[in-house]
Structure 1
Amino acid sequence: MKKQNVVIGFLGTQLDSGKGAGRWEKWRPTLSLVQHDDVVIARMELFYTPSHQELAERVRTDIQAASPETTVALVPLDIADPWDFGEVYAKLFDWTRGYAFDTEREEYWTHITTGTHVAQICLFLLVESRRIPGVLAQTSPPKRQQAGDPGSYALIDLDLSRYDVIAQRFGAEQRDAVDFLKSGIATRNARFNALIEEVERVAVRSRAPILFTGPTGAGKSHLARRMFELKKARHQVEGEFVEVNCATLQGDGAASTLFGHKKGAFTGAAADRAGLLRTAHKGVLFLDEIGELGLDEQAMLLKAVEEKRFYPMGSDREVASDFELIAGTNRDLRAEVAAGRFREDLYARINLWSYQLPGLAQRPEDIEPNVDHLLARCGVELGRTVRLSAEARAVYLRYAQSPEALWSGNFRDLSASATRLATLAEGGRIGLPLVEAEISRLQWLWQPLGSSDRSQDGDAVDLAALLGEPQVQAMDLFDRLQLAAVLQVCRGARTLSDAGRQLFQASRAQRAVVNDADRLRKYLARFGLDWEQARSGGR
């Protein structure tokens, strides 16, 4: 289906003017666009300032008289000073953000002959940055003025790579894009920040495959989706984001899921299936754990990446899909190639842009801003503000940034930890006891299988010796970890009151009557323990 032409431009307050019948004898640039026999304009988005309402309506009437098939949408822009670059650009930028561009069905011509020079420059920049998708349109009057002669027009397709000097003016926009890729988290790791800055440039300038490597939970899937959303915002992709974990694809199902199949291609193929590559047409396909693909699927994928065409299973007719590929893996594909488990030609094709995402333990300085981000997100989900007390924050970060914190699950572990803290926080305040219990939980999570629970200083807390094995087994893991943390504080305290002050240092300030010792005594009594038993801690 041929795309419809849509013109975007300013009303020419001088060139488009005229009242009597004589106005049809002169060349008017906006009207001339619909007077060419070789082109049909389906719609025109005509900007004007409210003070020129009458002229705008007259021009719309004349356009529709000359070209009944053209719809003219008058767009008032309340611009106080048409020569103020900041004001004009801001108005146009806001309009582009709210306008429903449909690049699959419409071709956009941005007319830069009319309007002030400032308006023309602003339109140029918005087209150059792809805020307005499409081409520039420049109209010119006839060499000899003749009634009805529309003159000429030229379409200019901007090659973004030729305008590096102009692109430098958009440093703020690039910083916004980098911030977007990082989800607004003010990360501090220099290596990671440099990586994201380069990924941003590649995302908006290249359609070549991108490969993310790194441990599970390092954020490959999240970054791939943010790249897609950035491309979508720049009108660089029209389709959807399609994600598949290749580790879940087995046997005939792998090729069928990716490339589709014809009915009867194999047992169970009861109907035609399009496949995910075709679903990703004009969009982004993210193949996570690409190293898990079989060699046959790798060969088919190579053809699809290079030629944008492939054969569905059981079909003798090729189909097309113009997708952009982002791949992820936690394997060293160089070693996989050497072992014959991954095709060298496919690796070469997807390795043009390759980035190693560091694990969380390699970015200790980024733990604090990520914790703040995660707690804020949890607060939104829970409908309340969640904050760490100063003491609890210091203790949590000291452990989280230490070599003892393995973060083997990377951001999945950190997200789970923040969720637990936010959920259990009374009144949205995360105090020291809750943090100490969470640290014990993390230590248990990362300790080697079969080893006993360890406290933060490495001494064993033997709950079974205090309570008996049956009672311990009947307790929830959270209760075991919390009790172990409380006993650790008791072992380091001189008195019951001293231990109570440490454990209830935040909430005690909110009570009219303070009796920390009694609160701790009642807590221990829930498990049948007294102060002397708590001080021994199972030793």
Structure 2
Amino acid sequence: MRPLVVLGFLGSTLDASKFGPSRWGKWRPTVGLTMHEDLRVDRLVLLHGSQHGRLADYVAADIASVSPETRMEPHVLDFADPWDFEEVYGKLLDFARAYPFDPEAEDYLVHITTGTHVAQICLFLLTEAHYLPGRLLQTQPKRGTADAAGTWTAIDLDLSRYDSIATRFAAASAESTSFLKSGIDTGNAAFNRMIDEIEQVAIRSRAPVLLMGPTGAGKSQLARRIYELKRLKHQVRGPFVEVNCATLKGDGAMSALFGHRKGAFTGAVADRPGLLRSADGGMLFLDEIGELGLDEQAMILRAIEDKRFLPVGSDKEVGSDFQLIAGTNRDLGACVAQGTFRDDLYARLNLWTYALPGLADRREDIAPNLDYELERFAEREGTRVTFNKEARERYLAFATGVQARWPGNFRDLAASVTRMATFAPKGRIDLDCAEAEIARLRRLWGAADGGADDLEALLPGEALAELDPFDRVQLAHVVATCRRSRSLSEAGRTLFAASRARRGSTNDADRLRKYLARFDLSWAQLAG
């Protein structure tokens, strides 16, 4: 067996007793822990103040008489105020860092029965953080007896060793990640892994978080859920302040963010605290941070690092302690290279960076989000709306197919569900309602692309659904070129202009005719 080392405080009250035979009828924690047949203490590291040196010697002598194999190792540790948490923790941390622990050769128990409550808490925290490499040791007297040894219990802080605790911990963790996802049971593995990591970062770190992703991917909603999770765990006390940086332009940007003093500029008729001050103690979400000017970026960096900044027109700095979440649909690395975003601010934001996928990359999550948006509609409008079976199947077949582009991501989906729920007869979305919405989405997306392609009018739905996005883009370009050309040969020359120069003989019309035939299309159809 490896040697067992126990570390603990001398109990200035519990370990004290009158000298004489009667002391052996009293439970004294430090002496008692060396009196157990099933707990062999090879070395006892005893912490005590200078004023308790005599008591420490007295206890050491009694331990030598009942456990001669235990080697005493006294350490004087004085506190100006033993109830000052900062002082006690700091001095114990210094002791732990300096002590020559050897976990490979020895086992350690940290005795937390003696000492002030502050000292006991600090020992617990240092053991949990592995500065003290051992298990906790708790001792207590045997009730109703004069047993001087008492009883002892070792506590392992490795929660994974306890099935019931591990199960509850896993359930709590799953509840947190579900909370971040607004309770939506998503099926995208990569997205779920990302949310798991964000949950850990949210409750363990106050460093800035950068959320990247296209417009409508849910950055704002996720930022608010992170805030609500931290508030639920009592980690923030202040408000959630959200601002879209794209709306902050010109001289007003500085005033909106950092506040101003009365008279700082024309129209400043009163002091303004600014958004950073408003977020004190809470969370600030700067959406589209890439839209800020370089001057504003420099002041944001200072506010993040020093928690202080200078309002417009003021000669006195103010403070605000907030956690920052930044959102952007830009590639900030590319912006740094272009000189439109500060590299030092990007480095500060880039500790925890998460790219939220768009809806088109999470098609398996459309079904649960469909239900979520219907719940939101019910809460907002006070009317519950549901799909009938045929309508739901038809809508999901379209929504999850390659023809559904979702350029606005979850905002598009939310708007689509709102429209169907609004027009649903008697609170039930039927097949006609779903078909009308599908046609509306096709028109909206086609208009946004300037009439990107009309393949749906040329190909049956099954054939279109089987097309890879790559093939669809290529075919749409071929169709558009054919419709602009006066003949099959002219269209072929346009489409194969680069490759035809490298061939000895050319028959662009035949080449194009064969390509169209792959999709059961002909020149006559397109020219007509």
**TM bucket, shorter chain:** 0.5 to 0.7
**Structure 2 Cα separation of the partners of residues 153 and 201 of structure 1:** 28
Name the counterpart of 1:178.
177
Note the alpha carbon deviations across 1:198-256, whole angstroms, 9 max, x for none: 00000000000000010000000000000000000111111110111101111121111
TM norm structure 2 = 0.57
Deviation at 1:384, TM superposition (A): 3.9
Q: How does 1:308-347 map to 2 (within 5 A)?
A: 308-347=307-346
Distance 1:305 1:435, change over 3 A: same
Measured on the aligned residues, the alpha-carbon RMSD in Å equals 2.9
Deviation at 1:379, TM superposition (A): 2.9
2:153 counterpart of 1:188: no
Conserved? CA contact 1:440–1:454, under 8 Å: no
Note the residue ranges of structure 2 that are not aligned, 5 or more in a row. 1-82, 86-111, 131-155, 460-527
Name the counterpart of 2:395.
396
Conserved? CA contact 1:298–1:346, under 8 Å: yes
**Structure 1 Cα separation of the partners of residues 224 and 256 of structure 2:** 20
Name the counterpart of 1:474.
none
Q: How does 1:50-449 map to 2 (within 5 A)?
A: 154=119, 156=121, 158=125, 165-166=158-159, 169=166, 170-449=169-448
- Partner of 2:327, secondary structure, is strand
Q: How does 1:8-87 map to 2 (within 5 A)?
A: none
Deviation at 1:448, TM superposition (A): 3.8
Deviation at 1:457, TM superposition (A): 3.8
**Structure 2 Cα separation of the partners of residues 218 and 152 of structure 1:** 49
Q: State the identity %.
A: 58
**Structure 2 Cα separation of the partners of residues 182 and 409 of structure 1:** 19
Note the alpha carbon deviations across 1:255-285, whole angstroms, 9 max, x for none: 1111111112122111111111111111100
Name the counterpart of 1:503.
none
Deviation at 1:174, TM superposition (A): 0.7
Note the alpha carbon deviations across 1:399-440, whole angstroms, 9 max, x for none: 101121111111111001111111111122111111000000
Deviation at 1:393, TM superposition (A): 1.1
Note the alpha carbon deviations across 1:484-513, whole angstroms, 9 max, x for none: xxxxxxxxxxxxxxxxxxxxxxxxxxxxxx
- Partner of 1:419, secondary structure, is helix
Conserved? CA contact 2:114–2:120, under 8 Å: no
Distance 1:378 1:161, change over 3 A: farther
Deviation at 1:362, TM superposition (A): 0.7
Distance 1:140 1:342, change over 3 A: same
Deviation at 1:450, TM superposition (A): 8.4
Deviation at 1:455, TM superposition (A): 8.6
- Partner of 1:267, secondary structure, is coil
* Paired positions, count: 319
**Structure 2 Cα separation of the partners of residues 153 and 400 of structure 1:** 59
Note the alpha carbon deviations across 1:342-389, whole angstroms, 9 max, x for none: 000000001100000000011000001100111122234443432212
**Structure 2 Cα separation of the partners of residues 165 and 139 of structure 1:** 20
**Structure 1 Cα separation of the partners of residues 302 and 255 of structure 2:** 16
Note the alpha carbon deviations across 1:123-168, whole angstroms, 9 max, x for none: xxxxxxxxxxxxxxx8869xxxxxxxxx876462547755983388
- Partner of 2:425, secondary structure, is coil
**Structure 2 Cα separation of the partners of residues 391 and 164 of structure 1:** 54
Distance 1:452 1:239, change over 3 A: closer
**Structure 2 Cα separation of the partners of residues 203 and 272 of structure 1:** 34
Distance 1:283 1:380, change over 3 A: closer
Q: How does 1:496-535 map to 2 (within 5 A)?
A: none
**Structure 2 Cα separation of the partners of residues 358 and 296 of structure 1:** 31
Structure showing greater Rg:
2
Distance 1:309 1:451, change over 3 A: closer
**Structure 1 Cα separation of the partners of residues 423 and 282 of structure 2:** 41
TM norm structure 1 = 0.55
Conserved? CA contact 2:310–2:317, under 8 Å: yes
Deviation at 1:186, TM superposition (A): 0.5
**Structure 1 Cα separation of the partners of residues 448 and 211 of structure 2:** 30
Deviation at 1:456, TM superposition (A): 9.0
Note the residue ranges of structure 1 that are not aligned, 5 or more in a row. 1-106, 110-137, 142-150, 461-538
Q: How does 1:448-459 map to 2 (within 5 A)?
A: 448-449=447-448, 457-458=456-457
Distance 1:368 1:456, change over 3 A: farther
Deviation at 1:451, TM superposition (A): 5.7
